[in-house]
Amino acid sequence: MKNQIFTYIDSQRDALLDLQRKLVAIPALGPDNDGPGEKAKADFLMEYMREIGLENITELSAPDERAEAGYRPNIAAIIPGANPDRTLWIIGHTDIVPPGDESLWDGDPYTLRVEDDLMYGRGVEDDHAGIVPSLILAKAILETGATPDVNLGIMLVADEETGSRYGLGYIAEHHADIFGKDDLIVVPDMGAPDSTQIEVAEKSSMWVKVSVIGKQCHASTPLEGVNSLIAASDFITRVHELYDMFPDNDDLFEPSVSTFEPTKKDANVPNINTIPGKDVFYIDARILPHYDLDDVMGAIKDMGADIEMEHGVRCEYDILQGEQAAPATSENAFVVKKLAEAVKAVYGVEARPVGVGGGTVAAFLRRAGLDAVVWSTQESNAHQPNERARVSHQLGDAKVYAEMLFSE
């Protein structure tokens, strides 16, 4: 039966491209990205699932009056297996990020472009790589009449790109009973081109807005003011001292250390001949899980106290995002073992558990005590111009999930 499923998947290149083409043409931007929400895309996907024969479809939508529909759509669909007590969940997200500067694209971001094995378009990988393989697999199962060893669960969630409050976070809070303690959960929202990375752990993350406040004056009379740009620049150059304050290594992660990087800086005065009275910059910190975020924030404030004393300014802090890392999925968890075996069978490579610096929606499930992994085969160019993905990767990933379903 598995060979029949594999043969069917191999025949689905044109169907995959047609599905990608239709998905790319439906921009699903959430309200935080100045969009209407994901409803149009979710409606299309529910209709597609019904057309291929999926019957057990549940809507778990989250109220959000900012969205045109008044809610953010979340969808769960099940194909029953021989063992009804265990489900392989594949969780993708429907929302995308904006295309950015469209002059950097070689074509319309919302029109699929295909060159041999490569597909180009916004969302084609992030996160159609989490949606399309699962639907191709579902189509294969339903067309061949196969019964998997366990249930296949397909979950399509909203709001992943802007915090997941209305997506998987909402489901974990309000519909946690949809998951069973023995379920296998795969979130295809990151991966490597060689299929070898199974993400089981995340660093803590913190985004800090630092406002350095001096006194504005005319540039010809600097003694009448306090130059916030000089103080902010000094502060920025000291941020890397945090590497020495929190120096531990963990080889599960790449890079293996905590990272502390100044990133964005807001504009200050619009003209050359004014000394700025306020400068604002931002720090992106990705911190090994055993460090406490409060300790990191304390170190930043201590640094700021020195800046205040030396430059006669005042420093203010806003934590725009602060997320202590969720408990890791054990490297020996059944889902890790099962996925690694399937990757070996399909791609012929040894997949290994890894940790990542960026947060994923798997954290919501791990906090609920569920073993979840993040895996797929990707070009790893999310959010970039000319976002691309490979047809062969998405067909291959469908086979990996089939291997997990039909080899218990």
First to last CA, the chain: 13
Decide if pLDDT at 363 tops 70: yes
Residue 199 banded pLDDT, cuts 50, 70, 90: very high
**Active-site residue numbers?**
95, 160
What architecture is the 204-323 domain classified under in CATH?
Answer: 2-Layer Sandwich (3.30)
What are the boundaries of each domain within the chain?
A: 2-202+326-405, 204-323
CA distance 141 to 192: 27
Instruction: Kindly state the average pLDDT of the residues 239-245.
Output: 98
Q: What is the pLDDT of residue 380?
A: 84
The pairing of beta strand 204-213 with beta strand 75-79? unpaired
Long-range Cβ contacts of 173-179 (<8 Å, 24+ apart): 174/60, 174/62, 175/60, 176/368, 178/58, 178/60, 178/76, 179/87, 179/89, 179/365, 179/368, 179/370
Q: How far is CA 182 from CA 60, 179, 323, in A?
A: 22, 8, 27
279 pairs with which residues across the strands? 212
150-157/217-218 β-pairing = unpaired
Q: Which pLDDT band holds residue 255 (cuts at 50, 70, 90)? A: very high
Burial of 185 (0-12, 13-18, 19+ CB in 10 A): buried
The predicted model gives 183-210 an average pLDDT of 96
pLDDT at 272: 97
CATH 1.20.1070.10 fits 2-202+326-405, yes or no: no
d(CA 1, CA 20): 27
Pairing of strands 75-79, 150-157: antiparallel
Mean pLDDT of 348-372: 92
What is the mean predicted confidence (pLDDT) over 251-255?
94
Q: What is the mean pLDDT of the chain?
A: 96
Neighbours of 31 (CB within 10 A): 17
Can you tell me which residue has the tokens 């100044």?
262
Say how far apart CA 280 and CA 178 lie, in whole Å. 44
Q: Are 347 and 377 in contact (CB under 8 A)?
A: yes
At 227 the pLDDT is 98
Q: What pLDDT band is residue 408 in, cutting at 50, 70 and 90?
A: low
Residue 358 has what pLDDT?
75
| pLDDT tens-place string over residues 275-330 | 999 999 999 999 999 999 999 999 999 999 999 999 999 999 999 989 899 999 99
Q: What is the pLDDT of residues 374-397, one digit of tens each?
A: 999 999 888 999 999 999 999 999
Residue type at position 295: D
Once rounded to an integer, what is the mean pLDDT over residues 212-234?
Answer: 98
